[in-house]
Amino acid sequence: DTEVTQTPKHLVMGMTNKKSLKCEQHMGHRAMYWYKQKAKKPPELMFVYSYEKLSINESVPSRFSPECPNSSLLNLHLHALQPEDSALYLCASRRGTGDGYTFGSGTRLTVV
Amino acid sequence: GESVGLHLPTLSVQEGDNSIINCAYSNSASDYFIWYKQESGKGPQFIIDIRSNMDKRQGQRVTVLLNKTVKHLSLQIAATQPGDSAVYFCAEKEYGGATNKLIFGTGTLLAVQP
């Protein structure tokens, strides 16, 4: 298995909803990432997990809450989002010591 | 020709021509670089990478050149095909530390004309 799998592919949520994005990889990668990408813009780093511990939070608002339950799974919990949070949310993983970042196909989030 | 749009530079080429996409990176401490291809509605797809101790690396129909003196990276695509039409991003990783940050450049839209 050489893929990063993200679910759901599309999500529409209201500003008062709570939802979660899921990311899974079975490549034994020990670093996992969340990126946010707006249309016609590059992906922007949000969070980095290294060996299941949060190592970087790029000043992301608290309405985004990451979680890494185990080495294969990464979640992003969403609560009280704003319409401007609508974007493509990408998950990536990387081997602990080597290089090679693998990205998932993303979750297209729309906040209404 | 090449033009700079409001958000995304665009490179328009004829099918069969060679394409050159350029990228200026910002951090002289970056030690690893990747080119990604992103098609509409999909995640970034790895094309080729290069470490800072190299200045050239070749793959299938693609070549990456690295000039550390001027912090410049380029991607050359030989015999460009319609399927190459996509947005191309360069990305850099800073050397050392526990951060393992991968930071993306602005991106270039490659439009291949049949």
DSSP sequence for chain B: -EEE-SSSEEEEEETTS-EEEEEE---TTEEEEEEEEE-TTS--EEEEEEETT-SEEE-SSEEEEEETTTTEEEEEESS--GGG-EEEEEEEEESSSS---EEE---EEEEEE-
User: Where is average pLDDT lowest: A16-25, B36-45, B99-108?
Assistant: B99-108
Query: Which pLDDT does position B29 carry in this prediction?
Result: 85
Does the beta-carbon distance from B102 to A55 stay under 8 Å?
no
pLDDT tens for each residue of A80-95: 999 999 999 999 999 7
pLDDT tens for each residue of B18-27: 999 999 998 8
Cα separations in angstroms, B32 against A79, A90, A98, B75, B100: 35, 21, 11, 15, 10
pLDDT tens for each residue of B42-54: 999 999 999 999 9
Bond before B44 cis per omega within 30 degrees: no
User: Given A45, A99, A106, which is nearest B32 (Cβ)?
Assistant: A99
Chain B residues with CB under 8 Å of A57 CB are none
Give the C-alpha separation, A69 to A62, whole Å: 19
Query: Which pLDDT does position B23 carry in this prediction?
Result: 95
Does the beta-carbon distance from A103 to B43 stay under 8 Å?
yes
Residues of A with CB under 8 A from a CB of B: 4, 6, 31, 33, 40-45, 48, 50, 55-56, 90, 92, 94, 99-106, 108
Q: What is the mean pLDDT of residues B81-96?
A: 91
Is A74's pLDDT higher than 70? yes
Contacting B residues, span 16-55, partner chain A, CB-CB under 8 Å:
32, 34, 36, 41-46, 49, 51
B66 — contact with chain A (CB < 8 Å)?
no
Exposure class string for A47-79: b at 16+ Cβ within 10 A, else e: bbbbebeeebeeebeeebebebeebbebbbebe
Question: How far apart are the CA of A17 and the nearest CA of chain B, in angstroms?
Answer: 24
Query: B41: pLDDT confidence band, cut at 50, 70 and 90?
Result: confident
